[in-house]
A = this chain, B = another copy of it.
């Protein structure tokens, strides 16, 4: 008998139970093939259908246009910190970075090893409690690209709107909020994100790149480090991370069956509403870190009156099966990650716990 906890991990994060159950059921014999999906050739028809269907379903979730290529890559989002400038930042040009925390800073630092990468705006002075508004920065029209982090998983901030970049290609690290709300893909030159928060398990990184940018990519790169190289073989240049892509496919299919991105976003809003409600109704016992206009629907961060109460909160919550709540060491306090597969039931259980904890210890 399985007793599953309420899992608020920041990533790898909880997966939909029906997806896990299907993976489990198929593990020794996938679809009557007599072998596991883990043992199946990536050049055979069984995997090919999984691969193509996953891309088709992801494309539909991204709005259905064929103007962008959808790639599966290895190495996690941090590898993309390097591949973006390797591919898209030519000698003599610069790239502009909006830095709303550790990830944006690291992306710019890694890019700085490959070329001229500049901080255009940073929220460091206010402890990364906000994202910029349209008047806070101006991107130079000759920038090779503008890079931003759509959701800051450590600080709990998130852009409510896509930043303005004019004609400059917009590159977005969407690792912690990819496919959690509908986007207008036309606005983006390139999006990347690991699968392990909203889309599946660790081991595959999604890269969505506008096809005209593929033609502008540096052409002398090793194939596996080249977006054009990966696109040319539809991410089948070599053995892809088969199992991780299979899970992404199962998750994407389930999202479509549940109504697509609109339904996903509404569900996520509901969870975030429960948690921010619990903060806002606590009379200051729980203090949210993010400025109200920059609040993340994926990672809700807050502090308690002191460290002892914070530790007690984490341990009492764990006893009630509410796990993964300790904040990142860079911020401390509590972090509640509410990725797609976290249920409203889990969010409600935690909001109730917060009210009860406040009553007991406030």
Contact = CB atoms under 8 A, between A and B. Distances in A.
A63 interface: no
Contact of A78 (B4, B201, B224): B224
Given A73-B75, A78-B238, A79-B225, A28 B20 contact: yes
Contact of A79 (B5, B74, B324): B74
Contacts of A244: 203, 241, 243-244
Contacts of A75: 73-75, 79, 224
A140 interface: no
Contacts of A14: 35, 39
Nearest to A77: B238
A180 interface: no
State the main secondary structure of chain A at its contact with B. Answer: loop
Interface stretch (A215-223, A299-307, A349-357): A215-223
Contact of A82 (B23, B77, B222): B222
A254 to B, nearest CB: 15
A38 interface: yes
Interface in A9-40: 9-15, 17, 20-21, 23-24, 27-29, 33-36, 38-40
A196 interface: yes
